Amino acid sequence: MQRNKTLLQSTLCGDNVLILNKVFEKKLITEREYNNLKSINKEDVEGHVIKLVDKIMNKGDETCQDFLHLLQTDEDIKTTYPKLKNIQLSVTRSLPLPIQASSSNEGGIQPNGLCVIINNETFMDGKVRRGTNNDAESLAKVFSWLNFRVLMCKDQTKDQMVQTLTCFASLRDLSQLQQLDVKEWSNDVFTDLQGDPQHGDAFICCVLSHGTKGVVSGIDSKSLSIQETITTFKATGKSPLTGKPKVFLIQACQGRQMQRGVLSEDLQADDSQSPFIPEDADFLVALATVEDYKAMRHPIDGSWFIQSLCEQLKERCPRGEDITTILHHVNNQVSLKEGFIQHDRAKQMPEVRFTLRKRLVLSPQAGSP
């Protein structure tokens, strides 16, 4: 964008209102920024466009990349600004290239990878996490639509969870899968495992359980550290997942406190390259709530976090949005929800952290999930 800034600005002056509206529709700017740009006084058309382009550039590489993609793909924009085709808009090396989680060969489309769900519903102390099966099915539907092979392990103790994670991290000893009673999502139901699983371009792990600060619980109420869960998949010279994105979605409380609502007006490194990557690279962990707080789950509809995640994936994956962008929308949607527990007003704030080195884009199959 820096190289072509002057050309872009002069070209987009042809209809400054259209490009402003398109940028807002794609959520590259906030509503407040949109209103501010729209109501600028004492500026000519060129001045409006200059301020818009500067605003985009100040938002960083990812927003710049999304803006260039918009200019290249939107039919209204291509029709309105035909001179854009004469401008070199290809993304330079300084911008992160996306990991497109989609593989194919002459035999047809292959699964992007595995989505493994650990779904703890009934605990040994008699407690039942009502609504969790709805979460599991929602995840299975959306990730199978995103061309993942979806497997589920139900009601596991802490040791069984460790065994499951260790098995799927390497897939070297597949005989363990029978002991773990792994089920597979097929024809809208969980059924017996259909053949040996294999790793693909990405790995998704969903843990649905109780939890406290920094841990999730087995059905025996023993705690498994979330950090230990992630460490199982660290990059090694022998791991089939080294260099591939590994996404962990954790639906579990992280404490006993209740989130309260507060009033708000408005809800670089060097370029040297190495053949080695850090062992902690390529992870994304999305937690239903921040530390010390509860995560809300409806006994019929399922949890706020998982249901919002599935909704946003269905809406935004067909648009080509990457997983971190989608999780920003999940964070916002969940933060706006409100419930009551024993007459107390309840809020929830998910947390996302990642070491992904590239954008992860999940490509859906044709049709609805």
Q: Do 149 and 182 belong to one domain?
A: yes
What whole-number distance in Å separates Cα of residue 325 and Cα of residue 114?
21
For residues 177 and 308, membership in a common domain is answered with yes
Query: Among the three residues 75, 95, 115, which one is the final residue of a domain in this structure?
Result: 95
Model-level pTM? 0.65
DSSP H helices in the chain:
5-12, 16-25, 31-38, 45-58, 61-73, 75-80, 132-145, 158-170, 176-179, 226-231, 304-316, 323-336
CATH code for the domain in which residue 334 is found:
3.40.50.1460
Can 167 be counted among the known catalytic residues?
A: no
* Domain identity same for 179 and 302: yes
Q: Which of 210, 310, 317, 329 is catalytic?
A: 210
On whether residue 273 sits in a domain, the answer given is: no
DSSP tag of 83: G
Q: Is 142 exposed, middle or buried (0-12, 13-18, 19+ CB in 10 A)?
A: buried
206 given a catalytic annotation: no
Single out the residue of 248, 334, 344, 249 nearest to residue 296, CA to CA: 334
Among 359, 270, 364, 288, smallest CA distance to 330 is for 288
Q: Is residue 269 part of a domain?
A: no
Catalytic-labelled residue, pool 153, 253, 310, 317: 253
Do both 283 and 345 map to the same domain? yes
**What is the total count of domains within the chain?**
2
CATH number of 36's domain: 1.10.533
Mean pLDDT by 10 residues, the chain (369 residues): 79 88 90 83 76 85 84 89 76 48 45 90 93 95 94 96 93 81 93 89 94 93 93 81 91 76 42 58 90 83 92 92 94 86 79 90 76
Q: Do 134 and 42 share a structural domain?
A: no
For residue 24, the enclosing domain spans: 5-95
Q: Are residues 159 and 308 in the same domain?
A: yes
Q: Do 305 and 348 meet the contact criterion of CB atoms below 8 Å apart?
A: yes
Where is the domain boundary, 95, 123, 153? 95
Q: 37 and 138 share a domain? A: no
Give dist(CA 112, CA 102) in Å, integer.
5
Residues 90 and 105 in one domain: no
